[in-house]
Amino acid sequence: MEHLLDITGLTVSYYTDIGRAIALNQVDLRLKQGEKLGLVGESGSGKSTMGLAMMRMIKPPGKVEGGSVVIGGVDMLQLSDKEMLKRRLSTISYIPQGAMNSLNPVLKIKRQMIDAYRAHYPDHKLDQIMDLAHEAMRSVELPEHVLEMHPHELSGGMKQRVCIAIGILLRPQIIIADEPTSALDVVTQRQVIETLNRVQQKIGSALILIGHDMGLMAQSMDKVAVMYAGEIVEINDVQTVFTSPKHPYTQALISSLPRLQNRGEFRGIPGMAPSLYRLPSGCRFHPRCNQQQPQCQTTSPRKSVFEDEKYVTCHLYEAT
């Protein structure tokens, strides 16, 4: 089957006064239509940068330095700025992290939806747009009168739903949700994720959920990609990631999750994530790895690809 999303060798750096920070290094990712992928990793591991790079929204001092983001046969990184403007929201949409402040405080919800719609279809009639707006509101389970309200009149969960409604308005092929639940309480979190899942199923798009809530990932995603210091170290089925993780980092991550059995005892991962300005030689994880090999310090591991675009980047699995 042809892949809907094909990211190859995506590299992004930020240039600041203290030097070059490599935020994404040669990242590969493939997704099929309707697939749901969870993108997890510590803060600064490159999750959000990846989402932004796919939207082509990396701003100076950041720079996309290589690779391709092919969606439905078209490389987003090769499009003109104007064409990319048309692709945002219609081909690939991004549901932001800070839903609390992502809506313009002085405009009605209705107006913000119409704006989004008109940017892509300037000559559509207002009734037509309103029909779609009503439909979008129904699919995120918000009453239609919310359209007539201003953002400050809505609760946090409602605002997040409005953001989702805007995100799916044009039925994009890929939805990127960047920690859409980070500012919400657990009950609302679950509702929002369920809404997201339902609308994703309804419009049949692929979903990339960025976050660090492993529980949320386990409940609703098909695959999980684990990022460490700007690289994807492992992509696997949710099942496999949780029961038999391959990469030592994934193993350490999973074993650090609190469980019912080992109550009262938490195991973290020793050491700190490396600075993106001074990355370790060889495998980026080797200083913290408990299964270190001699070659880890000197050579970067290659991808060991399994079936269905799953892979792990570790010397332990390299076919010798």
Partner 1 sequence: MFVIKRLLFVLLVVWSASTITFFIPRISDINPIRERFAELARLGGFSAGELEKIVESYSKAFGLDKPLMQQYFDYIGGVMTLDFGVSLNKFPKTVLMLIAESLPWTIGLILVTTILSFVIGNLVGALAAWPLSPKWVRGVSTSFILFQGVPPVLLAILLIFFVAFKLNILPIAGAYSIGTVPDFTFEFLLDVARHQILPGIALIFGSLGTWVLSMRGMGITIQGEDYVIFAEHKGLSSYTIFKDYYLRNALLPQVTALALALGNVITSAIVVETIFGLPGLGFVLITAIRSNDFLVIYGIVLFITIAVAVLMALVELLYPLLDPRVRQGQE
Radius of gyration for the chain, computed over Cα atoms and rounded to the nearest angstrom: 20
Q: Any contact of residue 47 with partner 1 (CB under 8 A)?
A: no
Nearest to 31 by CA among 253, 247, 232, 301: 232
Q: Is 100 one of the binding residues for partner 1 (CB under 8 A)? A: yes
Residue 232, SS3 per DSSP: strand
The smaller minimum CB distance to partner 1, of residues 85 and 130, is found at 85
Tell me: does residue 152 bind partner 1 (CB under 8 A): yes
Bridge partner residues of 71 (DSSP):
5, 74
Rounded distance, CA 233 to CA 247, Å? 7
Q: Which is nearer to partner 1, 76 or 312 (CB)?
A: 76
Q: Does 89 bind partner 1 (CB under 8 A)?
A: yes
80 lines the binding site for partner 1 (CB under 8 A): no
Q: Which stretch binds partner 1 (CB under 8 A): 41-49, 85-93, 180-188, 284-292?
A: 85-93
Q: Which of 83, 99, 70 is nearest to 173 (CA)?
A: 70
List 96, 180, 274, 282, residue binding partner 1 (CB under 8 A): 96
* Residue closer to partner 1, measured from CB, 130 or 254: 130
**Does 155 sit near partner 1 (CB under 8 A)?**
no
- By CB under 8 A, tell whether 102 contacts partner 1: yes
Min. distance of Cβ 155 from partner 1 in angstroms? 15
State the DSSP code for 280.
Answer: P
Tell me how far apart the alpha carbons of residues 238 and 221 are, in angstroms, rounded to a whole number.
Answer: 7
Could you tell me the two tokens for 175?
A: 């939805």
**Using CB under 8 A, which of 63, 120, 190, 303 touches partner 1?**
120
Assess contact for 146 and 137: CB atoms under 8 A. yes
- Rounded distance between C-alpha atoms, residue 156 and residue 302, angstroms: 43
Quote the least distance from Cβ 72 to partner 1, whole Å.
17
**132 binds partner 1 per the rule CB under 8 A:** no
DSSP type of residue 283: S
Closer CB to partner 1, residue 49 or residue 304?
Answer: 49
Tell me, residue by residue from 49 to 68, as one string, x for binding to partner 1 by CB under 8 A and - for no binding: ------x-x-x---------
Cβ burial 15-33 (10 Å sphere, 16+ → b, else e): eeeeeebbbbbbbbbbbbe
Residues in contact with partner 1 by the rule CB under 8 A = 55, 57, 59, 85-90, 93-94, 96-98, 100-107, 115-116, 119-120, 150, 152-153, 163, 166
